[in-house]
Chain A
Amino acid sequence: MNLRIKKNANSIMGIVLTAIVVIPAIIGIFWTPYDPETINGSLKLAGASWAHPFGCDNFGRDILSRIMLGSSTTFLIGMGTVIGGAVVGTLVGALTGFYGGVIDEVLMRFNDVMLSFPSLLLALTFVAIFGPGKYRVMWALAIAFVPSFARIIRAEFKRVKNMDYVKAARLSGASDFRIMYVHILPNTVKVLINAVLIGFNNAVLAEAGLSFLGIGVQPPDASLGRMLSDSQTYLFTKPSYAIIPGMAIIVMVLGVSMIGKEVE
């Protein structure tokens, strides 16, 4: 199965939108125009200027620099969450889908219980256990995302394991591990990729939500959700402070989901 992205207006648009946020975010990891944490009283809530194209926030920090750093934090949390969730979820889904029986029943009933809570609520619970902070939020979200990945991958493994080519592989003397890893997993990639892209979007939104509620990324770290949260008070005096991080979230999520629709 060759994965490729269909070349059409939709996918090009998706890539462009994603790039608009992700490229500055990647640059933001290494370099920002100003130090995003330097407080400057004289620039408090300064408007747009050549020196500060997006203006400055309530502490006089350059918004462009904070957006770059904030997008990278949000992007990395999103990536970390889906990678963690997908790896553990695939492992659980593969074992339960392939073997069935008692392990399947036990793990999947537990999974159902986890799934019956909205993943944001589940993440909230884990944040309450781990405490706030950018890496802890990532862990919390990753754990909260495991059940949905496990469910999707389990269904795929159950479907593919009954294919005749898997029976043929068994007759070829392939071990259980080899059958799962070499013969089944590559045929679930299409579904997995889509789940990862959707999961990434959900993770970005969940991070924004948690940080907005003040239990996600903590100051002085910047993240898109954190900036939204900080900007609430100034919504009427300086609306662009809220609109810019909000737009960054929307553009990133929209771009990724547009790409996701065109993967085949």
Chain B
Amino acid sequence: MSDVCNNQTRILEVKDLFVSFTEEKSSLFDKKKKIDVLNGISFDMYEGEIVGLVGESGCGKSTLAKSILGLNKITKGDIIHYSQYPQMIFQDPYNSLNPSKTIEFILEESLKNLTKLNVEERRQKAKKRLEQVGLDDHYLIHKPGELSGGQRQRVCIANALMLDPKLLIADEPVSALDVTIQAQIIKLLAGLQKELGLSILFISHDLRVVYELCDRVMIMKDGKIIEDGTVDEVYRNPQTDYTKQLLLSAGIM
């Protein structure tokens, strides 16, 4: 698998990434506390692959995702994108759509800001994307408050695809949804990945979902990637105790 990857075009390069936050002082005389979240992360992603990123909560998965997209400051290291407008699908669909705007407004926002498409072209594209995620175009006039969790997450996916990104980061996109809806959304993501040739960094703590969906998996612990390989390699022959533990507790090993 890794040989195949090397022949493919690189889409993302993360080199020796460090991120730390300073905790807000609770009183004037407190010293600033520094919390290291990411401690030297390096990996590459290639076109068309789905990479799972697994780790317990608090290990820095979401921070890594946000750092890659430039949503928080990095302390040290490089992030090199080989594609335009990488996008993100957020964990909580109840928090990731602006409640005061219509779906049409939300979907067309990025086109307004970054392209020269006119009103009609923007609407056509929004309709097309909605259709691709399995929603009727009558949802355009609705506001997020009128949609269910699964529908909202579909809208989020449509929104992430508006600028035709090559790289998509999905931060636990199904963990806030019902189990039945989870399966639908995973299927949708897999289908879209094939259809559009996306690369997806799929963040999850569900090893079973990762096994089904991903080509490659990275295991993260305490702000470091401790294991990186194809799903088969890692699941059949885990190199670290931590990975073994994870697999055991998921009932896979």
Nearest B-chain residue to A185, judged by Cβ:
B100
Across the interface, which residues of B come within 8 angstroms of A102, CB to CB? Answer: none
Question: Is B113 within 8 A of A183, CB to CB?
Answer: no
Q: Does any Cβ of A come within 8 Å of B110's Cβ? A: yes
Q: What CA separation (Å) do A12 and B22 show in the bound complex? A: 51
Across the interface, which residues of A come within 8 angstroms of B100, CB to CB? Answer: 1, 186-187, 189
Q: What CA separation (Å) do A186 and B109 show in the bound complex? A: 15
Q: Does any Cβ of B come within 8 Å of A171's Cβ? A: yes
Question: Is A165 within 8 A of B96, CB to CB?
Answer: yes
Q: What CA separation (Å) do A250 and B49 show in the bound complex? A: 69
Question: Is B113 within 8 A of A187, CB to CB?
Answer: no
Known: A173-B110, A173-B113, A178-B113. A168 touches B99 (CB 8 A): no
Question: Is B99 within 8 A of A187, CB to CB?
Answer: yes
Nearest CB of A to B193, in Å: 19
Nearest CB of A to B164, in Å: 13
Chain B interface, >50% SS class: loop
Q: What CA separation (Å) do A163 and B99 show in the bound complex? A: 11
- Interface members, chain B 76-106 (any A CB < 8 Å): 85-88, 90-92, 95-101, 106
Q: What CA separation (Å) do A11 and B110 show in the bound complex? A: 40
The one of A164, A178, A189 that contacts B96, using a Cβ cutoff of 8 Å: A164
Q: Does any Cβ of A come within 8 Å of B125's Cβ? A: no
The one of A1, A168, A187 that contacts B159, using a Cβ cutoff of 8 Å: A168
Q: Does any Cβ of A come within 8 Å of B66's Cβ? A: yes
Per-residue A-contact encoding for B111-132, CB less than 8 Å = 1, 0 else: 0011000000000000000000
Q: Does any Cβ of A come within 8 Å of B41's Cβ? A: no
Counting contact residues on chain B (CB < 8 A from A), the size range is: 20 to 34
Q: What CA separation (Å) do A170 and B96 show in the bound complex? A: 12
Question: Is A167 within 8 A of B98, CB to CB?
Answer: no
Q: What CA separation (Å) do A167 and B91 show in the bound complex? A: 12
Across the interface, which residues of B come within 8 angstroms of A189, CB to CB? Answer: 100
Across the interface, which residues of A come within 8 angstroms of B91, CB to CB? Answer: 164
The one of B95, B96, B114 that contacts A173, using a Cβ cutoff of 8 Å: B114
Question: Is B109 within 8 A of A164, CB to CB?
Answer: no
Nearest A-chain residue to B113, judged by Cβ:
A173
Question: Is A167 within 8 A of B109, CB to CB?
Answer: no
Question: Is A167 within 8 A of B110, CB to CB?
Answer: no
- Interface members, chain A 142-199 (any B CB < 8 Å): 163-165, 167-175, 178, 183, 186-187, 189
Question: Is B114 within 8 A of A164, CB to CB?
Answer: no
The one of A165, A169, A171 that contacts B69, using a Cβ cutoff of 8 Å: A171
Across the interface, which residues of B come within 8 angstroms of A1, CB to CB? Answer: 99-100
Nearest B-chain residue to A174, judged by Cβ:
B113
- Interface members, chain A 1-44 (any B CB < 8 Å): 1
Question: Is B95 within 8 A of A164, CB to CB?
Answer: yes
Nearest CB of B to A213, in Å: 38
- Give me 30 A-to-B residue pairs in the complex whose CB atoms sit less than 8 angstroms apart, sorted by A's number: A1-B99, A163-B95, A163-B96, A164-B90, A164-B92, A164-B96, A165-B95, A165-B98, A165-B106, A167-B90, A167-B96, A168-B88, A168-B90, A168-B96, A168-B156, A168-B159, A169-B98, A169-B109, A170-B71, A171-B69, A171-B71, A171-B88, A171-B110, A172-B113, A173-B110, A173-B113, A186-B101, A187-B99, A187-B100, A189-B100
Q: Footprint of A on B, CB under 8 Å? A: 66, 69, 71, 85-88, 90-92, 95-101, 106, 109-110, 113-114, 156, 159, 162-163
Additional A-B contacts beyond A164-B91, A164-B92, A171-B71 (7; CB < 8 A): A1-B99, A1-B100, A167-B96, A171-B85, A173-B85, A173-B113, A187-B100
10 A-B pairs with the lowest CB-CB distances in the bound complex, closest first: A172-B110, A164-B96, A173-B113, A186-B100, A173-B114, A164-B90, A165-B98, A1-B100, A172-B109, A164-B95
